[in-house]
Structure 1
């Protein structure tokens, strides 16, 4: 059978490995961290959100970015320091504004399709990931925000999503714990939330049971192609010593998040992924009153660029913001503080004395669409660049990716 090396053990890499294993491939996953799901898939917003499928390629995004450039607590923050990578990405971002509607509708359809794949996998492999299926409530503070959300809703509905407008009174009925004076909003009952880290690590365990291999503490340093691929990696061995090792494979799938750009360069491809930093806090609901005061319905506040998810009875996740600052994972207090203040304002009964902050890098393509399919060289494939919708889309993009691999490297090709 063909052997495939998957680079990256985040949600997309592990989902890709699982899909390949199901189709009969011999799969080895190479991951630079010590465990699966330790980077962007560690503590994201937790939403499985077709309702958040709107791409960001819009002139209003540019105007907000300029307006907020000098605000350290801005929902969208850009480091103005010169960077060819950043400014080339922004130029391509602007060039894709004309595809805003087309790409939003396409992303919606992909997100809806992904649900079926993911829920079937979770049931088949008995994966418990604090899944809450109570929908996502998008709140609008004023008429301007509601009018924009109405235009977005038209695109989401065109993509096949069941999403409806709700009044301020209906918002209060859908989620009584929510405190605020809203103009209105939109509710998507078919969306859901959960713990991405739990899901990904348990899916990795399912891959191992199905015969997949994982190489951890392994950083890819070189890729050569002759009859087969030779992938050289620096491995951290016992005693903290590093060694240069190698594996061979018939094909390579790049699922390395923000690192995919460098891996693609080794393979002769240009992949203009930019790391857009997001922050989250996980609030420990350590008493019955805090548990009662936290919402079960997921919230999306477009004005603050903040989302929430309930992770079982005892945890509450609040996430958001977008920061263009390169490969920078620093957790800044001035970026975390707005998440805490937002939580205190909208859910005053939730105690925030035990809060775990986190920052991760969303791997974003300039058109906000994932890169799925063949690379330039035979045997090279990509499933990466999912941005803020990695968990939402990865089950569907992995199914698409497997079809591309099968067309070039059918399972019976080498055995024939």
Structure 2
């Protein structure tokens, strides 16, 4: 079949690769000059198969109110009269129950564990390098309350058979020796040893080259303007550079997916949640992380990428804005320098990107009521983590095969 993938971020590139392997004639369309130049460009560098949780959780509404008054808040709300924002916030709040959290967490863990297997297979078959490491994620707790609250995550990990270790202060230092310099600032942690790290931008570009070798055509600097739908089926993708006939299309446009779909009666509950990152050189290896540390207080990930440190996180709900706030940078600065003093923050490169978030945390993967139109979007902060598994699921669905994992509750139909 002639399949067009809309978007050349990490989701689009992995999707194109798997579709080409399945024998389809694949074209990828993107407005940028190359792959992974938006949300995938400088993300936190985590491949978090175990540290994989929905933002909507019990207690979040109360925490959100407290965060509004924090100097270094992990959540920033800049409200505006935006029906999509208000609808998304209402749906997210409705998922902040213990029952919904358990359901959503289980879905996410199922897909992320499949992605762990898929990434290992892809790495073996391609041999691509991307500053990868397989040393786990340490969720770091600064208070006893945070440590106690991790019990719900431990329960979910145990239920899904995901390896984990609950660590005391000394255990955290054994996992991340540089924390010995700030031992009095931590009380414990939750280690998920199967988690990995890597440079998403490097990975996406290397895999795009492999996809091209399989015959995938990449059309860059090609903005998508619409879809040609006739008699309930997809006929073509319309771009500023012309019309592209297709038997099927996969929408992997991240936060911009709902804007393309809305005129065709598809109400996709995906909204942009902006994240920020810093990338800085490693100055003194003994004072740098060896893998990823998730600072639970500020929801900041500090990740070692070869000779660099990537500091990423926060969730700013402010619509389709991509400005670089000085206040947000100060939070990143504070988190990394508080835990790993001695780095040269003056050489850090500052970046922001729009994460495509669903209100329940789970991505939307599957078909639509329009024949030939498929979705692979809404991965939020876990696009890098879930990309390879999501690509295999959507490739199977486009090809008319049954996916290797249960994917029925990943489709847009779960929203009714």
Give distance in 2, aligned partners of 1:13 and 1:72.
37
Show the 5 A alignment for 1:109-188: 109-178=110-179, 179-181=182-184, 182-188=186-192
Alpha-carbon contact 1:71-1:77 (below 8 Å) kept: no
TM-score when normalising by structure 2: 0.92
Q: 1:257 maps to which residue?
A: 254
What is the CA-CA distance between 1:74 and the residue it aligns to? Answer: 1.4
Q: 1:283 maps to which residue?
A: 280
Give distance in 1, aligned partners of 2:215 and 2:18.
12
- SS state of the match for residue 177, structure 2? coil
Q: 1:300 maps to which residue?
A: 294
What is the CA-CA distance between 1:117 and the residue it aligns to? Answer: 0.8
Give distance in 1, aligned partners of 2:13 and 2:265.
24
What is the CA-CA distance between 1:122 and the residue it aligns to? Answer: 2.0
Q: 1:219 maps to which residue?
A: 223
- SS state of the match for residue 296, structure 1? coil
Give distance in 2, aligned partners of 1:324 and 1:72.
17
- SS state of the match for residue 23, structure 2? coil
Give distance in 1, aligned partners of 2:79 and 2:73.
14
Deviant stretches of 4+, over 6 Å: none
Alignment RMSD: 1.6
Show the 5 A alignment for 1:12-411: 12-71=11-70, 73-97=72-96, 98-178=99-179, 179-181=182-184, 182-226=186-230, 229-234=235-240, 244-285=241-282, 287=283, 290-312=284-306, 314-407=307-400
What is the CA-CA distance between 1:225 and the residue it aligns to? Answer: 2.8
- SS state of the match for residue 279, structure 2? strand
Change (3 A) 1:192 1:379: same
Give distance in 1, aligned partners of 2:91 and 2:80.
18
Give distance in 1, aligned partners of 2:136 and 2:51.
12
What is the CA-CA distance between 1:151 and the residue it aligns to? Answer: 1.9
Q: 2:413 maps to which residue?
A: none
Alpha-carbon contact 1:53-1:156 (below 8 Å) kept: no
Structure 2 unaligned segments of length 5 or more: list them: 403-416
Q: 1:412 maps to which residue?
A: none
**Aligned residue-pair number:** 395
What is the CA-CA distance between 1:71 and the residue it aligns to? Answer: 4.8
Give distance in 2, aligned partners of 1:150 and 1:247.
51
Indicate the larger mover: 208-217 or 297-306: 297-306
Give distance in 1, aligned partners of 2:150 and 2:276.
24
Change (3 A) 1:266 1:16: farther
Give distance in 1, aligned partners of 2:381 and 2:354.
9
Q: Deviations over 1:124-170 (max 9, x none)?
A: 12210000111111111111100111221111221221001011011
Alpha-carbon contact 2:366-2:375 (below 8 Å) kept: yes
